[in-house]
Amino acid sequence: MRGAAMRLNTAVRGFVVVVLSGSVVQSQDGWGVTYTSTQICAVKGSTVEIKCSYTYPSRTQYQITKVQMKLWFTKGTNHNPVDLKSDSDYTGRVEYRSNQKDCTLRITELRESDSAVYKFRFITNQQGGSYIGSPGVTLIVTDLQVQVITSQHGQDGTQVQLKCHSSCLHDRPSYVWMKNGQVTLRETSSTLRYSFFPEDNISCALKGHEEFPSPSVYAPKLPSVSVSPSAEIVEGSSVTLTCSSEANPAATYVWYKRNSQPLSKNSQLIFSSIQSSDSGEYYCSAVNKLGSTLKSITIDVKYAPKSPSVSVSPSGEITEGSSVTLTCSSEANPAATYVWYKRNSQPLSKNSQLILSSIQSSDSGEYYCSAVNKLGSTLKSITIDVKYAPKLPSVSVSPSAEIVEGSSVTLTCSSDANPAASYTWYKEDEDSLKTSGHNFTISNIRPEHSGSYYCVVHNNRGTHNSTLQLTVVAGAGTLEAAGVTAAVLLPVIFFSVFLWIQKKRMSKEPVKSEDRANNREQCLPDQRQPEEQDDLQYTSIHFSNNQADPLYSNIRAAQPHRHMLEQEVTEYTAVRFNRGSAAKRDRSQETGESPCALYSTVNKTR
């Protein structure tokens, strides 16, 4: 590359352009490019012209030098540059102007993206006759900016002080201030004091260049809020809320839930594992120095039913026959459906309530409420204890067979009641209490214990009673005594009957025998002896098989519970009366026996 002698014959011109540094001339052996400045600052939207000049030898080795190509570039390399005219970023905005050895680059509608280093290159017909002016010109494109110096919020809007600013402006140009795109404000200085309202948009421009205003300043617009993922939100998943708002100056954000402290001071609110309690309305507040605005979003977290709450109404003691309502409720999203059932039974209700219009004692027990939705189910139980008066008591006697005198007997009374009942025993026609409790035991029972006994059952819900008839039969000792007495009295009775019969006979057949008279006188004084004959009189005594000898000590009545197993045995007593004969009388006299002796034979048949 050939150098060039420094010269100040290049001018940089444009609308709203500031030259930040002096000119630079590069030349070598007659070859060179001269730039007015190495750095230029221009305002966005304006037009800039960068002029330069170039030199080259008029002749080399007897050949006249001719310029074949001239171009400006910012991209590519020195050996392979991209001509601005062919660069799509500059289409329609670039123009080369040249007059003899002057070179000018004109760029219109400057953009901030146009900020770059621009270099000029020319190519001649000489061998190696191309030249690039380095280091080139640095172009900085900036925008006018409205700065908010102070702000104070009040009922009549926000009192603000604004300043129109650009880093490219070092002198004091005239300004225009625009409201909502219209020049309605008369201030021409770089500062503006103004009562700002939320709908206002304020911008500034250089006077004479109103078509290139600064970006407007304004309070935040209504925010846009979104939730991710956008599908159904399920408990335990990760959820992000995002808030954005158009604002200049840029807004700051605050996320909070109704009636709560701020949750985030960023544009995003992140739930790493969202819970059912996180459901609700969330607010995003967008704020800058010119105002604030608010937007809400509702989060609906879906979740399986929580553990149900079960209750009973009325809440007091449950009495048989009353109306009782069981109620089940569970937090769930979507709402749960309910099923009521009793242990080991079919469903009783498919509503949140189970109504027992006339509850019975049999309804006591454990009831279950199942709460179900598409995300799951849960279960809760409640115990119902129905209070009721005693039912009809059941009374019994033990032992259950015939009650024999001298034995021990227990009377038992039981009744279904809630709360548990108390028991008392009474005997009819007697006022005194026999005993308290389920059982009443009578030891060594006697016949006078026979009668009607009744059990009274009582709790705080009512009273009930039942009667039991008790019959006591004679015991074994009494029967033995009766048997011995019968064994003795029966012969006497029969003998008396026999004498009476004989007397009747004697009255019809008188006997004059002296011996017989004497005998009668001895045996039956004041009575006549009936005619002697062989007559047998019988009496029957019944004994059970289990009786033992001797007879006089073991005559016993049959036990009642063994009647079917015992057999009757007939015992006969034979009473024989012999007619008196002389021989016999003599024999009796010899033996000392009385002629009046009565003999009886008792035969026991096995």
549 & 516 share domain = yes
Q: Which two tokens stand for residue 515?
A: 């011996």
82 & 45 share domain = yes
Res. 518: pLDDT tops 80:
no
Highest mean pLDDT among 50-64, 171-185, 218-232, 426-440: 218-232
Quick one: pLDDT at residue 27? 56
Q: What is the CA radius of gyration of the chain?
A: 69
Mean predicted confidence (pLDDT) in 4-8: 29
Mean predicted confidence (pLDDT) in 239-245: 96
Domain boundary among 387, 415, 438: 387
Choice among 32-46, 201-215, 232-246, 530-544 with the minimum mean pLDDT: 530-544
The DSSP bridge pattern shows strands 318-319 and 386-387 to be parallel
- 270 in a domain, yes or no? yes
Quick one: pLDDT at residue 480? 57
Quick one: pLDDT at residue 485? 65
Q: Identify the band that residue 290 occupies on the pLDDT scale cut at 50, 70 and 90.
A: very high
119 & 150 share domain = no
- 468 in a domain, yes or no? yes
Q: Identify the band that residue 402 occupies on the pLDDT scale cut at 50, 70 and 90.
A: confident
pTM of the predicted structure, to 2 decimals: 0.54
Which single residue is written with the structure tokens 């503006």?
A: 192
Res. 555: pLDDT tops 70:
no
7 & 137 share domain = yes
- 213 in a domain, yes or no? no
Asked if 223 and 296 touch (Cβ cutoff 8 Å), the reply is no
Mean predicted confidence (pLDDT) in 575-593: 43
Cα–Cα distances in angstroms (integers) from residue 462 to residues 357, 363, 387, 427, 458, in the given order: 22, 19, 11, 21, 6
Q: Identify the band that residue 572 occupies on the pLDDT scale cut at 50, 70 and 90.
A: very low
76 & 163 share domain = no
534 & 508 share domain = yes
Q: Identify the band that residue 118 occupies on the pLDDT scale cut at 50, 70 and 90.
A: very high
Q: Identify the band that residue 351 occupies on the pLDDT scale cut at 50, 70 and 90.
A: very high
**Percentage of the residues of the chain whose pLDDT score is greater than 70:** 76
Q: Which two tokens stand for residue 28?
A: 């070598």
Q: Identify the band that residue 511 occupies on the pLDDT scale cut at 50, 70 and 90.
A: very low
- Four-residue CA torsion sign, 562, 563, 568, 573: positive
131 & 9 share domain = yes
- Residue among 290, 288, 248, 38 nearest 144 (CA): 248
The whole-angstrom separation of Cα 487 and Cα 481 is 10
Q: How many CB atoms neighbour CB 206 within 10 A? A: 22
Cα–Cα distances in angstroms (integers) from residue 471 to residues 295, 401, 447, 453, 476, in the given order: 95, 11, 8, 11, 16
Mean predicted confidence (pLDDT) in 443-455: 90
487 & 593 share domain = yes
Domain boundary among 473, 493, 525: 473
Quick one: pLDDT at residue 307? 93
Domain boundary among 142, 168, 188: 142
23 & 138 share domain = yes
- 158 in a domain, yes or no? yes
Mean predicted confidence (pLDDT) in 511-523: 44
439 & 491 share domain = no
- 526 in a domain, yes or no? yes
Quick one: pLDDT at residue 430? 82
Mean predicted confidence (pLDDT) in 123-136: 83
Q: Does 577 or 182 have the greater pLDDT score?
A: 182
Res. 477: pLDDT tops 60:
no
Mean predicted confidence (pLDDT) in 415-420: 92
Which single residue is written with the structure tokens 């006979």?
A: 505
CATH code, domain carrying 461: 2.60.40.10
The whole-angstrom separation of Cα 329 and Cα 20 is 78
Highest mean pLDDT among 83-87, 252-256, 394-398: 252-256
| 205: β partners | 176
Q: Does 189 or 285 have the greater pLDDT score?
A: 285
430: Cβ–Cβ under 8 A, 6 or more apart, which residues? none
Quick one: pLDDT at residue 202? 93
Mean predicted confidence (pLDDT) in 473-482: 62
Quick one: pLDDT at residue 602? 45
Mean predicted confidence (pLDDT) in 236-263: 94
Quick one: pLDDT at residue 578? 44
Res. 589: pLDDT tops 60:
no
Asked if 284 and 258 touch (Cβ cutoff 8 Å), the reply is no
- 510 in a domain, yes or no? yes
371 & 324 share domain = yes
- Four-residue CA torsion sign, 552, 557, 562, 564: positive
The whole-angstrom separation of Cα 54 and Cα 1 is 13
Quick one: pLDDT at residue 189? 86
The distance of Cα 313 from the centroid of its chain, to the nearest Å, equals 20
The whole-angstrom separation of Cα 384 and Cα 342 is 10
289 & 341 share domain = no
- Residue among 106, 108, 112, 107 nearest 145 (CA): 112
Quick one: pLDDT at residue 23? 52
Mean predicted confidence (pLDDT) in 21-41: 73
Asked if 242 and 264 touch (Cβ cutoff 8 Å), the reply is no
Quick one: pLDDT at residue 170? 60
Quick one: pLDDT at residue 478? 54
Instruction: Give me the number of domains the chain comprises.
Output: 6
Quick one: pLDDT at residue 123? 86
Q: Which two tokens stand for residue 45?
A: 């939207």
Task: Give the length of the chain.
Answer: 606
Amino acid at 394: S
Quick one: pLDDT at residue 223? 95
**Residue numbers of the domain that contains 373:** 309-387
Q: Which two tokens stand for residue 585?
A: 């009388």
The whole-angstrom separation of Cα 310 and Cα 329 is 7
- Residue among 271, 239, 241 nearest 255 (CA): 241
Mean pLDDT, the chain, as a whole number? 79
Amino acid at 223: P
- 219 in a domain, yes or no? no
Choice among 24-38, 49-63, 68-82, 185-199 with the minimum mean pLDDT: 24-38
Quick one: pLDDT at residue 333? 92
Asked if 54 and 131 touch (Cβ cutoff 8 Å), the reply is yes
Res. 576: pLDDT tops 70:
no
- 212 in a domain, yes or no? no
